[in-house]
């Protein structure tokens, strides 16, 4: 590791260790990131001048004014993105219909070698644009997706298929344009393996809240008899169902419910037609473990009280502050037996954390 990356990683370890010391956790397991080429997503504004255009980002000066920063290379992103950036830009410049009023370019790369590029415009995309964009897609062997206000143009597909290695098995994941995916695929693989190591092989069932596209669901399903996973976003539910079928896994059901709605259903406070339509009978499950990977806001109090009823809680967090706050309640019934930090976002203050909680 270079000294600059090592220093920022050590600062994060010190901060997280101090923040959670009150819960007396075991030694922190630290999962570092590659120092470069770790981001699988990148978004750039396109800045137009009288005779040129270039990738741009913004930073604030000492007067808090936004300043344009020209970007010719971006070492933190995957190598495939860095190699494509100049080729794509030159091709866009060479075709006026593709360059005209182009506002933003988004890249979504995969370890499996697929690439989706979203071109976002401030004008309507006509048939002439589609013809030129399709030719560019074939020329560069990439998928291109067009967007403008109120308009989406899918030339081939609006997704890529990622492959993540978890121990000795690869899992395929559909990642849909503009939907959430883990940005650091190599650290994500470490997170998946850590979560699986937290889950003992059992004939009991797993409940997962906030399952997204099934990122953790698929490998965790191998440790349990059955899995009931919940997710509210329709696009994520669709992707999760696709991923389950693609990976030939037959012990997972996905319920389109929020965590709050599942709590109401589990407590018998409310019935949901969505469960009936999906032929999901919550009472048929024999849960002993719950897995959660909530949004930055953390988990609401009613859902936390539900979690307290399970023997084991595996909690992945993208916000240490809300995890710390949630542990205030969960630590009344559970103790931390595994504690981890995943450096998903090098050179920023952000970290992902993980705890395994077992009933006292």
Q: Which residues are catalytic?
A: 318, 352
Q: Classify strands 29-31 and 312-317 as parallel, antiparallel or unpaired.
A: unpaired
Nearest in space to 33 (alpha carbons), one of 64, 14, 55, 8: 8
Centre a 10 Å sphere on the Cβ of residue 140 and count the other Cβ atoms it contains.
15
Q: Which helix (H) or strand (E) holds 312?
A: strand 312-317
Residues 6 or more apart whose CB falls under 8 angstroms from that of 271 comprise: 265
- CA distance linking residue 120 with residue 45, whole number of Å: 9
Centre a 10 Å sphere on the Cβ of residue 255 and count the other Cβ atoms it contains.
22
- CA distance linking residue 341 with residue 288, whole number of Å: 25
Q: Are 316 and 353 in contact (CB under 8 A)?
A: yes
Q: Sheet with 143-148: list strands edge to edge.
A: 66-71, 53-60, 41-48, 102-109, 115-121, 143-148, 151-154
Q: Are 56 and 70 in contact (CB under 8 A)?
A: yes
- Give the 3-state DSSP-derived string for 23-70, with helices as H, strands as E and coil as C: HCCCCCEEECCCCCCCECEEEEEEEECCCCEEEEEEEECCCCCEEEEE
């Amino acid at each position: 590791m270079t000294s600059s990356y090592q220093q920022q990683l050590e600062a994060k370890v010190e901060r997280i260790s101090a923040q959670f010391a009150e819960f007396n956790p075991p030694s922190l397991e630290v999962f570092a990131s590659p120092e470069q080429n770790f981001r699988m997503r990148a978004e750039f504004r396109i800045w137009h001048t009288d005779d040129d255009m270039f990738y741009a980002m913004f930073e604030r000066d000492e007067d808090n004014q936004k300043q344009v920063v020209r970007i010719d290379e971006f070492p933190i992103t995957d190598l495939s993105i860095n190699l494509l950036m100049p080729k794509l830009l030159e091709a866009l410049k060479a075709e006026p219909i593709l360059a005209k009023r182009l506002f933003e370019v988004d890249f979504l790369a995969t370890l499996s070698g697929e690439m989706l590029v979203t071109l976002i415009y401030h004008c309507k995309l006509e048939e002439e644009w589609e013809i030129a964009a399709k030719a560019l897609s074939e020329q560069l062997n990439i998928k291109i997706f067009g967007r403008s206000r109120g308009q989406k143009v899918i030339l081939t597909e609006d997704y890529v298929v990622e492959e993540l290695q978890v121990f000795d098995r690869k899992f395929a994941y559909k990642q849909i344009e503009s939907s959430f995916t883990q940005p650091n695929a190599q650290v994500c693989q470490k997170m998946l393996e850590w979560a699986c190591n937290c889950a003992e092989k059992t004939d009991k069932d797993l409940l997962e809240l906030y399952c997204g596209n099934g990122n953790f669901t698929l490998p965790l399903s191998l440790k349990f008899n059955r899995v009931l996973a919940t997710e509210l976003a329709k696009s994520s539910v669709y992707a999760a169902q696709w991923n389950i079928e693609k990976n030939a896994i037959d012990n997972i059901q996905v319920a389109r419910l929020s965590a709050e709605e599942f709590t109401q259903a589990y407590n018998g406070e409310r019935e949901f037609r969505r469960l009936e339509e999906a032929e999901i009978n919550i009472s048929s499950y024999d849960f002993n473990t719950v897995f959660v990977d909530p949004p930055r806001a953390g988990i609401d109090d009613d859902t936390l009280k539900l979690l307290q009823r399970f023997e084991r809680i595996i909690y992945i967090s993208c916000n240490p502050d809300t995890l710390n706050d949630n542990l205030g309640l969960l630590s009344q019934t559970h103790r931390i037996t595994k504690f981890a930090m995943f450096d998903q976002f090098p050179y920023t203050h952000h970290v992902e954390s993980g705890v395994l909680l077992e009933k006292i």
